[in-house]
Amino acid sequence: MAEEKTKKPTQAEYEKEVLKLAKEGLTAEKIGESLRQKRIHPKEFNKKISQILKEKGLYINPDLKNVEAKLSRITAHFEKNKQDKRAMRERDRIFSHLRKLKIYHKAE
State residue 25's pLDDT score: 86
State residue 6's pLDDT score: 67
Cα torsion for 85, 88, 93, 97, to the nearest 10°?
160
Q: Where are the domains of the chain?
A: 11-56, 62-107
Q: Report yes or no: 28 and 49 within 8 Å, Cβ to Cβ.
A: yes
- Report the distance separating Cα 97 and Cα 108, nearest Å: 17
State residue 27's pLDDT score: 87
pLDDT in tens, the chain (108 residues): 455 566 788 888 899 999 999 999 888 889 999 999 988 888 888 889 999 999 999 888 889 989 999 999 999 999 999 999 999 999 999 999 999 999 998 876
